[in-house]
Amino acid sequence: MALSGLLATLFLAGPAAATPDPDRDPTTGVETAGSAGERTRAAIAAGEIPDVDEIVHSDNITHLANVPRAEGLGTNSDLVFQGKYAFAGNYNGFVVYDISRPRAPRVVSQVLCPGAQGDISVSGDLLFFSVDSSRSDDSCASEAQPATDPDSWEGIRVFDISDVRAPRYVAAVETACGSHTHTIVPERRNVYVYVSSYSPHATFPDCQPPHDGISVVKVPRHAPERAELSSFEVLFPDGGFPGDDSGSATSGCHDITAYPELDLAAGACMGDGLLLDISRPATPRVIDRVQDTEHFAFWHSATFSEDGRKIVFTDELGGGGAATCNAEIGDEFGANGIYHVTGRGDDRRLEFRSYFKIPRHQADTENCVAHNGSLIPVPGRDIMVQAWYQGGISVWEFTDSDRPREIGYFERGPVNGDRLSFGGAWSSYYYNGHIYSNDQKGLDVLRIDDRRTDPARGVRLSELNPQTQPSYR
């Protein structure tokens, strides 16, 4: 089936497009049931769909814990880590978990500060929070109001987390078209925040076309109250991919992953994939740009290999709200694209190698597509853990870029067996020996026992923002 036909079907049938209403909690009205036990690996391999909420997993994955999502939090989104804490974003704020005992995580604090979609990062004593919902003001007591209102606010909030039991709101910076996601590039004195946002409109006073780049916010570490918009960096002087029946027109970026040690970043920008030079963090510069008009509908996120010579880009076909992991859509749509970085300096280029998609078909009632993940740091191998919404959590290897393969998985059956409903894992990351996932059921903690991933257990980090990749060497 052609991608244009798939898109037409998905956008007519699915509950969300690539730009969902940020004030709507997609989990509202979802029916749930108790766990129905565990199904055999052979049954899943044979293509059987688990029962509603039934937990299934590969033999090398152990489910250690789940902390149910508290009432009033809204859709769970991204995860970051610092020391013994995990910080979990959601559409209405964020939660701090103590994960010093992975089998028994506990809630340390909960911050209610509505403003979808709650993408977060941490650096030292600071936490950054994305607001992509037009608000009446920048306070935590703000209410949603139309983007056509010139007094509406959206952008970046900054919190002081020196006391994780009582995070303190210290600054806010308004940015054009808000902040759907963001990426930090930390320095000794300042933290630069690359703000990704998109979908301008002539009727939006604070989000005017052409929106052909990213906002850069500068936050002084010792005076975060002086945070300010540093610049708006144009990344698409020619306007970017114009869009067609198959893919989204580029009007900004969805997400950027920085690799500060290599002075590189990878931008997933709707209709374009970018390789960026960030040797001067305040002024990122495009080195190369690629498009995939045959298979990619919406360039969503990116992950570097440890050596920086590969980039995994994800395609969020259907906007995260459609059932794209089935036989009808196949294994090359709503998937990952693996690219090699060839050449040197400004002659570096992105070269496509292959696609990877989970090999387990999902029900037509399950939203499923490639989403947020991170490396599992194994020397000499390229292994990644990744969330696929109701497709669950996949551990897969791309050491051989032409033959990627899944080596482990964890998933639940559909949240609803009768109609397409939103649910599943938004973000899944590896941190200090365990896999953590921000699922709509709450925080999941997993352990993988596999000779291919066991060497990663010895790697310890003091902080992890998956969109600001560390060097594990």
**435-462 pLDDT tens trace:** 999 999 999 999 999 999 999 999 999 9
Distance CA 102, CA 447 (A): 9
What is the rounded distance in angstroms from the CA atom of residue 194 to the CA atom of residue 217? 7
Q: What is the pLDDT of residue 70?
A: 86
Which H helix or E strand runs over 45?
helix 41-45
Long-range contacts of residues 458-462, Cβ cutoff 8 Å, at least 24 apart: 459/377, 459/432, 460/432, 461/81, 461/431, 461/432, 462/82, 462/83
The separation between CA 316 and the C-alpha centre of its own chain, rounded to angstroms, equals: 10
CATH number of 3-464: 2.130.10.10
Q: What is the pLDDT of residues 86-100, one digit of tens each?
A: 999 999 999 999 999
Q: 272-277 and 285-290 as β-strands: parallel, antiparallel, unpaired?
A: antiparallel
Beta-bridge partners for 168 = 160
Could you give the CA distance from residue 375 to residue 421 in angstroms, rounded to a whole number?
Answer: 29
Q: What pLDDT sits at residue 18?
A: 37
Residues 36, 39, 44, 48: is their CA dihedral positive or negative?
negative
Residues of the chain with pLDDT under 50: 1, 7-9, 11-38
* CA separation for the pair 191, 186 (Å, rounded): 4
- Confidence at residue 473, expressed as pLDDT on a 0 to 100 scale: 77
- Identity at 307, one-letter amino acid code: D
Q: What is the C-alpha separation between 187 and 281, in angstroms, rounded?
A: 9
What pLDDT, on a 0 to 100 scale, did the predictor assign at position 123?
Answer: 98
Residue 283 CA to residue 281 CA, distance in Å, equals: 5
Residue pair 164/190 in contact by the 8 Å Cβ criterion: no
